[in-house]
Amino acid sequence: MTQPIQNMIQYQPTCDIHALKSRAKMYAQIRQFFAERDVFEVETPVLSQAGVTDVHLASVQAQRHVQGKKQTHYLQTSPEFAMKRLLASGSGAIYQICKVFRDDEHGRKHNSEFTMLEWYRPQFSLKDLMLEVTDLLNVVLAQRFGEVRPTVLSYKHAFMDRLDLNPLKATLKELKDAAHRVGLNLDLGDDRLAYIDLLFSHMVEPSLGFDTPVFLTDFPPEMASLAKTKLDEDDELVAARFELYIEGLELANAYDELIDADVLRSRFQADNEEREKLGLHVMPIDEYLLAALPNMSECAGIALGIDRLLMIVMNQMKLEKVITFPADVS
């Protein structure tokens, strides 16, 4: 006699009760941290009529009716666009803990639905923001590490340390040769940035943040996304942004926020042209965001992956050990 199918299905979460309680504790710590600094919590829609244009991010599409008309909208990859509309409306310093979605991202450290902490600090420099991130890490990681003292390292120097190659100046041929030299024999055509990213993700990223957390700064200008660009100490153009790494995991991504709507529109358009070339879905441009930007003050903002931070807190190697139901069982 066969068992009923419901007896064969594993309905339990992939994480244990300790992980659930650790998450609840961390949320309380984060909310207390920002309350003490007069940064208030906001909520914005997860579904929008426009979405991110970045060719490396795929938005999850959803059909819904708005005023009786069926429309294709997009689940957010980040609450950034909506939060910037609040900033331009005079909100001041704000944060949000929310669900975000990236299509078909699954694995040891990925799930297509995950939790993000995002916050914005008007008038903060990236250095100010690094200091605040350090303060937050010293709250949530105290039990595991005691005091943490992150170091600052430029993308260029991290790359040169591992590969003896300056990614800001390297030619396509030099990047291809470097990839072959370390056994990465993928053919990425003439996409210089793809080779930089390939080399970084395989040869640089896995070694970052083991002695102490690392703030990786001054990215190649092609990686500016929604950040400003600037000249570094060698007068080379770089993106004014940083990422946080702990134990080889990218935990956070911060920008000195671009508030020039014309420049941002041209970046969105360039992204969509690239999407068309690659046969990807061309994304509607968020006109609400572009209308808001001229009213936004100078600002630094950061998005931090809550689930990955919890992996560090709990010393877990797999994302499924800190979330309840990954996409394949949800």
In a domain, residue 159? The reply is no
Structural domain includes residue 270:
yes
If one counts the domains in the chain, the total is 1
Over range 230-251, report the average pLDDT: 96
CA distances, 313 to each of 21, 38, 131, 160 (Å): 12, 25, 19, 30
Residue 5 is predicted with a pLDDT of 64
Residue 15 maps to a domain: yes
Range of the domain at 272: 10-149+256-329
Is residue 281 a part of any domain in this protein? Answer: yes
Establish if 298 belongs to a structural domain. yes
* 127-150 per-position pLDDT tens digit: 999 999 999 999 999 999 999 999
Q: Is residue 282 part of a domain?
A: yes
CATH code at position 309:
3.30.930.10
Flag whether 222 is in a domain: no
How high is the pLDDT of residue 299? 97
Examine the pLDDT at 322 and tell me if it is beyond 80.
yes
Q: 36-50, 98-112, 139-153: lowest mean pLDDT where?
A: 98-112
State the pLDDT at residue 4. Answer: 67
Q: What percent of the chain has pLDDT over 70?
A: 98
pTM as predicted: 0.94
Q: Which tens digit of pLDDT belongs to each residue from 279-311?
A: 999 999 999 999 999 999 999 999 999 999 999
Residue for token pair 């069926």: 70
Residue 166 lies in a domain: no
Asked if pLDDT for residue 28 goes beyond 60, the answer is: yes
Whole-number mean pLDDT of the chain? 95
